[in-house]
Every structure is written in C-alpha cells, then in structure tokens.
Amino acid sequence: MKVKEILDKAYSEHHLTKDEIKFLLNSEGEEKELLFAYADRVRKEYVGDDVYLRGLIEFSSYCKNDCFYCGLRRSNKEAQRYRMQEDEIVEVAKRAYDMGYRTVVLQSGEDPYYTKDRVYSIIKKIKKEVDVAITLSIGERSYEEYKAFREAGADRYLMRFETSNRELYQKYHPGMSFENRIECLRWIKSLGYELGTGFLIGLPGQTIDDLANDILLVYELDSDMIGIGPFIPHPHTPLKDTEAGSVDLTLKCISILRLLMPDSNIPATTALGTLDPLGRQKGLKCGANIVMPNVNDLKYKLKYELYPGKICINEDATKCRGCIESIIISLGRKVGQGFGQSRHYELKKAVYN
C-alpha cells in the first residue's frame, strides 16, 4: 500500500516531497486512519503523554488591519471593542498562575495603543510578579520592538503566515504584505524567541496544492510551535457567505506536521473545538500536545469574536481549567507541569550552546 510506504518514510526520515504530502492530504478511510495512528505514535515517542496548557489572555479587540476572515477587522463596525489596562492584564496573569498555568499567551488585534513602552512594561511586570513563560501574539511590529520585548523577558512569539499562496494573501489582507510577514517571522527567530507559525485551513479559493505548500513553509521556517486551525466564516466580514474549513483536513494537516516536525509543539485549537464538539480531542489524538484555554473574564471573552460560536465563551476560567483537565485525563494523557518549552527549541539550543 502506497500510503504505508510514505508513512514509513515520514516516520524514519521526517521528510516528505510535496507530492507525498498531497497524497496524504487526499487520504480517506483506512489510509487516513493510518496517517492519524502514525502521527499519534510519533507524538508519543517524541513529546510524550503530557499535554501543556497555555492561558490565553486576549487583551485588546481593536485592530488596525482588515483581514477578510476576521471578526476583529477594522471595517467591522459591529465588533465590540475593549482594551485591558496594564494592571488588569497582570492580575489575570497572576490568576492564571494560581490556576496552575505556567505559560500565558498575550494576544490582541494589531493595536497601536500598546506602544513599545507599554508592551515592554506589561512583560516586565508579569515577569516580576509570576514565574510564567510569556508568549506574545500581537502581530507585525518593527525589529526594534521585537528586540525590546525579548529583552523585557518575552519567551515565545506566535504569528501565523495564514496562507503561503501570495495571491490569496494579497486578496485577504488588504494593505499588508506576505514578504513583510515572513521577514517578521525571521526576525523573531533570529532574536531567540521560540517561534510559532502556521496557517488557516479552508480559506475560500485555497487548494490542496496550497496546503502542501503551507506545510512545507512551516517546515522551512523551522517552527518550534505550529498553530493551524480551520477557517470559520464570520457574519460581519466579506467572507460571510463562504463555507467553513474542514475538520478532517485540519486533522490531516496536524498529523502530517507531527510526522515532519516530531518535537515541535502543536496545539489542538479552539477553532477546531468550535467546528466539532470533539475537535480538540481529535486533534490531541493525531499529533497535538497543547491546549490554549482562555483565562479572561467573561465580559471580555464575549467581545473577542474572531468567528461565531466560539467554545467556552460562557464558561469562566476555573470551569475551563477543570473541564480541559478531565478531557486530557479521559484520553489517557496528563497535564504537563512546568513551562512546556518546545523540545524542538530546547534541542537546538543545546546544539548551539
């Protein structure tokens, strides 16, 4: 069976050609199940049974960009906007620590209100108050800003390139440039952050060929963390009448990426859990090893609406913490203790130092 040959190669070499990736993306039935099983085995062998939790703090719903798919886009006049102040962000980080989180992810729209000095000060204060790893997910900034945030103590940076298809990129990101985004990702890596990137699955017009290129680009960028998730149409965006991405295709992408990048961290994303009530469980069973529950107050959760129907929107942070732990245990896994640094990053550092 051809699929077995490809999977055995991926298992031993962690490398595949574009055609082989496309073959796996098109797999169905038993072949697809075999792909998932191989990915689960590689996950177990390389990153073990620990599932690390990241406490997500969505601190501003303002955005100067206009990405076609996103509910926070500046042209969405119906979006509810809020900004959390410095002390409030630090308080939520402390609360996350008390709930057992050892990483907080500071995420927002691209909001210039949070100047270099403001972000610097937020990072410093959190680091002073609590012993957590800090991941930033605040979009494109200048080299100097990324450098300053790293000096303040930020450990990781998440920024998807969204799609490697230049035409689609231009179409869905007015006023932005693919080249700039990639340059930012290279800067982030050169500054010693743990780098996280990835893409959306199911953007209108995206093909299997595009997805194979997306997977290869994550590989080329040597990502320590891989954030991928299905596109979900938002009613107040230009893509409102299009179809959502496929859960199955997302799971195939997760599996292939786990085979290619065995020691990187891969989350089972909220978008996956939104499209399928068992989406996060399915992700964890085919290569994922991270979950990112929201730790914000309900009043903010409701307003950070990237797409409709987001899970956990009415649950408070303590409830999610308990819920996610029982999900993890029900899968025969356990909640990871400590920072849960990417092994991919750890091993590279050990080689270079």
Binding site for ligand FES (CB under 6 A): 293, 312, 315, 319-320, 323-324
Contact call for residue 32 and ligand SAM (CB under 6 A): no
Contacts made by residues 119-124, CB under 8 angstroms, sequence distance 24+: 119/145, 119/148, 119/149, 119/152, 120/148, 120/149, 120/151, 120/152, 121/86, 121/152, 122/86, 122/89, 122/90, 123/149, 123/152, 123/153, 123/154, 124/152, 124/153
Which position among 95, 114, 139, 264 is part of the footprint of ligand SF4 (CB under 6 A)? 139
**Coarse DSSP helix, strand, coil percentages of the chain, rounded to the nearest 5 percent:** 45, 10, 40
Minimum CB distance to ligand SAM, residue 23 (Å): 26
Look at residue 73 and give the partner it binds from ligand SF4, ligand SAM, ligand FES, none, a contact being a CB closer than 5 to 8 Å depending on partner kind: ligand SF4
How many CA atoms are closer than 13 Å to the CA of 304, on its beta-carbon side?
24
- The two beta strands, 103-108 and 133-137, are parallel
Residue of 65, 103, 206, 255 that binds ligand SF4 (CB under 6 A): 65
By CB under 6 A, residue 110 contacts ligand SAM:
yes
Say which entry of ligand SAM, ligand FES, ligand SF4, none residue 323 contacts (CB below 5 to 8 A, set by partner kind). ligand FES
Q: CB neighbours (10 Å) of residue 86?
A: 15
Shortest distance (Å) from residue 160 CB to ligand SAM? 4
- Residue 228 binding partner per list ligand SAM, ligand SF4, ligand FES, none, with a CB distance cut-off of 5 to 8 Å that depends on partner kind: none
Q: Applying CB under 6 A, does 141 fall inside the site for ligand SF4?
A: no
Among the listed residues 55, 226, 228, the one whose alpha carbon sits nearest the alpha carbon of residue 135 = 55
> What is the C-alpha separation between 112 and 88, in angstroms, rounded?
18
Q: Any contact of residue 210 with ligand SAM (CB under 6 A)?
A: no
* Helices 86-98 and 116-129, packing angle to 10 deg: 30
Degrees to nearest 5, angle at CA 139 with 133 and 142 = 95
Number of residues interacting with ligand SAM: please give it, by CB under 6 A.
19
Task: Report in angstroms how near the CB of residue 144 gets to ligand SAM at its nearest.
Answer: 19
- 36 near ligand SAM, judged by CB under 6 A: no
Residue with tokens 């574009």: 18
Between 67 and 96, how does the x/- string for binding to ligand SAM read (CB under 6 A)? --xx-x------------------------
**Pick 132 or 312: Cβ nearer ligand FES:** 312
User: Residues 42, 92, 95, 109: which binds ligand SF4 (CB under 6 A)?
Assistant: 109
The least distance separating ligand FES from the CB of residue 331, rounded to whole angstroms, comes to: 14
| Selected binder of ligand SF4 within 73, 141, 282, 301 (CB under 6 A) | 73
CA proximity to 308, closest of 199, 237, 235:
235
- What lies within 8 Å, CB to CB, of 220 at 6+ separation is none
Give the count of residues interacting with ligand SF4 (CB under 6 A): 9
Q: Does 16 bind ligand SAM (CB under 6 A)?
A: no
Which parts of 115-261 fold into alpha helices (H)? 116-129, 143-152, 166-172, 178-190, 208-220, 247-260
Sites of contact with ligand SF4 (CB under 6 A):
63, 65, 67, 70, 72-73, 109-110, 139
